[in-house]
Structure 1
Amino acid sequence: MSQITWLGPQDPFPTPSHNTDPDANVPGLIAVSDRIYPGQLLQAYQKGIFPWYSDNQPVLWWSPDPRMVLVPKNFKCSESLRKKIRQFCQDPQCEITVDDDFGAVIRACATSSRKDQDGTWITHEIMDAYTTFHEQGHAHSIALKEHGELIGGLYCVALGRMVFGESMFSYKPNASKIALAALSAWCIQNQVAMIDCQQETAHLRSLGAAPISREEFLRQLQISLNPSNIELPWTFDKNILTYWL
């Protein structure tokens, strides 16, 4: 009988298999824990595993097959989005800040409603864990502002030359798309081969993401985890968007 691993504070994650899951009734679920223990996020991402659960649940750790990814150069920048990007770049009241507003961005992602996904999965525990991850230099935020007010953005994780997209939000139409366009352009500039989108949604497909097998994802991940010369902290601004113009 199959069994999903229950992790204690010092237990290592199982290595995801491209052949089978621990429980065929819950495909992609790799492990469970009482909480997110210190050091667990880094270990999980290095193995292609991420947490996704709701309040009043244990922490559920996933490695889905297939895996949704966005090759940065395949980002679909439509003519209408290109027009919005041009307007954003030309407006002196509009700006992009990177890693200055991580707490505000993750809170906005947690409280924003969306068609494809329930924002409530970003629990207080998730916010605390990823804020610590950010302080350690592994998690990043991209915030779009207009007249100094937050209008959209995203947060992500970056290890070596691998970027893992986590969540986006928009208070104004197209703001999250512009944030993703900025991240994609930065990835192209820094030879990042793909952005992990984790799970398939119609919205991500419309922006150029596509599924690949878990086997291929894990292969690419191990290549991308090699040390890189990407400079920290991230320092780009809205001028990165001119790649799409």
Structure 2
Amino acid sequence: MPPVPLTPRPRAFPAVDQADEDGLLAIGGDLLPQTLRLAYTHGIFPWYNPGWPILWWSPDPRCVIDPSRFTPSRSLRKRLKSGVFTITVDKCFTQVMRLCAAPRSYANSTWINEEMIRSYTELHLQGLAHSVEVWNASGELVGGLYGMNLGRLFFGESMFSRETDASKTAFAFLMHLCAGWGFPLVDCQLPNEHLMSLGAFTIPREQFMTVLATERYRESPDWRPVQAINHCTPF
């Protein structure tokens, strides 16, 4: 089935079972904060290359991780015990996004453009989007991640690393938070080797949507206590 065309400021997205075999559901629309929130609420996320129209996805299967079952690797546990990193939450959300958008060794660009940065930053100001930052002993931002929180679910978007295990440390801390808050799943969207090495797995889209239908309406946790302090490893 071809992707469903969207007008700007869409009031609804098509049902996710209309997505094609790759998970592509719709094309067009906009990246306004209210559109992004509507999309996440219905298990849909944007992902497209520079110069392309906006593409909206809901893949089957869906890549997720259960934070209560997350176990750091032996090498990561050793790094965490060393105490070389300090962790903050929501200290510099936009900077994390820009570093996630920076060229990688395997790609000259990412899908994170200025329009996305503006919209997710607005969602951050609304208390819906959050970041985890990792700092080295010199006070340099060397790793981090960002994503969306709706109810008792976190939707991971992207992460970056400038030192060994920095992004894994951010990920491990996110798992620590989400497990403590009783999140049944963290959405990782699409599987890749790195995520699978961290313990991610895939579930049928229908199962993901069932969890989403319940958890999105639960009360979101209060992020302010974890925003207020610097966190040391191990945590």
CA distance in 1, matches of 2:69, 2:199: 6
Query: Structure 1 residue 175: deviation in Å?
Result: 0.4
Indicate how the Cα distance of structure 1 residues 78 and 139 shifts in structure 2: closer, same or farther if over 3 A, else same: same
The residue that corresponds to 2:8 in the other structure is 9
CA distance in 2, matches of 1:240, 1:217: 32
Residue of 226, 230, 238 corresponding to 2:231: 238
**Between the two proteins, what is the percent identity of the paired residues?**
41
Indicate how the Cα distance of structure 1 residues 165 and 123 shifts in structure 2: closer, same or farther if over 3 A, else same: same
Alignment of structure 1 residues 1-245 onto 2, 5 Å: 2-11=1-10, 12-17=12-17, 20-21=18-19, 23-24=20-21, 27-88=22-83, 91=84, 94-113=85-104, 120-146=110-136, 147-228=138-219, 230-233=221-224, 235=226, 237-239=230-232, 241-242=234-235
Query: Structure 1 residue 38: deviation in Å?
Result: 4.5
Q: Deviations over 1:82-129 (max 9, x none)?
A: 0100112xx4xx3211111101100011104165x7751111221111
Aligned 8 A contact 1:74 1:209 in 2:
no
Query: Amino acid of the residue matched to residue 5 of structure 1?
Result: V
Which is further off, 37-46 or 170-179? 37-46
Aligned 8 A contact 1:98 1:234 in 2:
no
Given the two structures, how large is their TM-score scaled by the length of structure 2?
A: 0.91
Q: Deviations over 1:204-235 (max 9, x none)?
A: 11000000010000001111112325114362
Aligned 8 A contact 1:186 1:240 in 2:
no
CA distance in 2, matches of 1:118, 1:219: 37
Query: Amino acid of the residue matched to residue 235 of structure 1?
Result: V
Query: Structure 1 residue 67: deviation in Å?
Result: 0.4
Tell me how many residue pairs correspond in the alignment. 231
CA distance in 2, matches of 1:109, 1:229: 25
**4+ runs deviating over 6 angstroms:** none
Unmatched tracts of structure 2, length 5 or more: none
CA distance in 2, matches of 1:224, 1:33: 28
| Structural RMSD (CA) | 1.9
Query: Amino acid of the residue matched to residue 164 of structure 2?
Result: P
Aligned 8 A contact 2:128 2:150 in 1:
yes
Indicate how the Cα distance of structure 1 residues 40 and 234 shifts in structure 2: closer, same or farther if over 3 A, else same: farther
Indicate how the Cα distance of structure 1 residues 234 and 113 shifts in structure 2: closer, same or farther if over 3 A, else same: farther
CA distance in 2, matches of 1:118, 1:16: 31
CA distance in 2, matches of 1:57, 1:165: 22
Unmatched tracts of structure 1, length 5 or more: none
Aligned 8 A contact 1:102 1:131 in 2:
yes
